Amino acid sequence: RAVAVISVFSAMIICVRLVRIPLHIPGAGSIPWITLMILGRAISTYSLTSTIMGLIVGIITTVAGIDLPPGPQHIIKYLVSGLVIDAAYGVLPKHNVFTYLVIGALTSTSKLLSVYVVAYILNIPLIVIKAVLIYVLALHTVFGIIAGLIAYSLVLTISKVKGLRS
């Protein structure tokens, strides 16, 4: 069952990453794929679901050149996001809206910070990011919270449908 969830949600994340809606707001593109990563973890019983999804999505987006700019930093970005979701989901209480808001915010900000750390290690100039880091971090947090709220709503809906069928 965990393999099926990981496969389906990884494929959905890749499809979401292929469709670009240019909002020109830092962090807004995180909403759909972070929602899917959180949702995949919530409906799976396997404790490393999001980490494996992140690794699969990171490898595919890197090899296929889906995310811009292309490069191996996407493996780290998605892997770190998955690790954060799995760790937070393991520690925080389940089926609580606050839990999903925190997980969404942590995931989106960890994604931003992982890309920043990789760029710093590779000695890529980040003058623009340094100048607006607080602003960008705040936006990533807000969009992560939105992703968590959407994931929580979807988990509630799935739970109700599951309850009706049992």
Residue 164 has pLDDT above 60, yes or no: no
Q: Which of 15-24, 52-61, 123-132, 155-164 has the highest mean pLDDT?
A: 52-61
Q: Check residues 36 and 20 and name the one with the higher pLDDT.
A: 36
> What does the pLDDT average to over 86-108?
93
How far is 44 from 9, CA to CA, in rounded Å?
A: 11
- Of the pLDDT bands very low, low, confident and very high (cuts 50, 70, 90), residue 127 is low
Q: Which of 49, 34, 39 is nearest to 146 (CA)?
A: 34
Residue 34 has pLDDT above 60, yes or no: yes
Q: Is the pTM of this model over 0.85?
A: yes
Q: Are 70 and 115 in contact (CB under 8 A)?
A: no
| pLDDT 10s digits, 64-90 | 888 777 778 889 999 999 999 999 999
Residues 6+ apart with CB under 8 A from 47: 86, 90
